[in-house]
Amino acid sequence: MYIFIGDSGSLSSWTYREDPTMTFLLFAFTFTTVIYLMNLFIGLLNMAIEDYNKHEEFLLLKAQVFIFYYKYNI
């Protein structure tokens, strides 16, 4: 469980059973932060993949133009 919440040095003065509200808020904050960061990274990855595909399609079209040009010697 220590892996999920990180360093708990500032929260060492209380235990989880003494204050259930603080425990709930700590886990809710951790959960929502992880979900937010996952969505952020997925969005950035999606943008990178779109840029890669656009560049790849441009190179494919450029190759087709060269093949057409050399095939018919225009």
Q: pTM value?
A: 0.52
pLDDT top residue among 2 and 60: 60
pLDDT digit string, tens, across residues 7-28: 666 666 667 778 888 889 989 9
Provide the token pair at 51: 């840029």
Residue 63 neighbours by CB under 8 Å, 6+ apart:
none
Q: Coil, helix or strand for 74? A: coil
* Chain center to CA of 31: 15
pLDDT digit string, tens, across residues 23-73: 899 899 999 999 999 999 999 998 887 777 777 888 888 999 988 888 887
DSSP 2-40: HHHH---GGGTTS-TTT-HHHHHHHHHHHHHHHHHHHHH
Give residue limits of the domains in the chain: 18-72
